[in-house]
Structure 1
Amino acid sequence: MQLPEPHYSRNRWIAQIEKDFALINPMYHNKGKFVVLCWNPKGLMCDRCKIFNTVEECQTWIDSVEEQTQHIITEYGKATVFICGDGEYWWSREDEGKQKYSPLYQVINMEHAIAMVKCSLESLADKESIF
């Protein structure tokens, strides 16, 4: 069976479906399980991976993570809040023509992540107005 090409998220994280080898989870070695390996927007391999029974389950999970992306617009700017393949929350914004990506720490859920990003945008706008 040929595995699909890596999934390149529009949010710059990458997911790769692979057969589950003993290095990942020896309990499932040679039992037909599949694992989704992920890299975050900074290009670092995530230390958590998901295990599934079929490639289709892997793809469904990847699609569900991708669908959780939220675009927000405030008086202080625009940003995108998303979940990376390892379950960590990230946000991106454009700064001087470049897209910047930052992780969000200790986030409870998407609503909490959005509130944090709105505060960050306001804080960044305040800093820019000082100078």
Structure 2
Amino acid sequence: MIQVTNSIALDEGELQESFIRASGPGGQNVNKVETAVQLRFDVRNSPSLPDYVKEKLERLAGSRLTNDGVLIITAQRFRSQERNREDAVERLVELVRQATERPKPRRPTRPTLASKKRRLEAKGRRSDIKKGRSGKPGFD
């Protein structure tokens, strides 16, 4: 079990790993060894996640989510398979943690009396500036 939060834990059986050849550094190894990890997690059919987390996770995943609701995370930052595997799992856990955070509800506020006065004074000053541009001769 991979602990995400106090109430949410992912079963390791829900994760599917496949290994592919990584691009980037690695010398001769990069052409021979499959060090990059492609982690697949079926978001829509996961029994570990509540519905609100699934919905938000699908929105957060963006292009990493397939049409079937499978989240694909590719990790190839490191030269070893094991470190890339750990990196992919960490990124998945972080994404699920972000999906569990609920937004703080907005409390409507009213403008203060002072801010209303400042706004009206600024409008008056601007109005006077524009009146001065009208070109009509005034009696000074």
With structure 1 as the length reference, what TM-score do the two structures score?
A: 0.33
Q: Quick check: which one's strand share is greater?
A: 1
With structure 2 as the length reference, what TM-score do the two structures score?
A: 0.32
| Higher CA-based Rg | 2
Q: Quick check: which one's helix share is greater?
A: 2
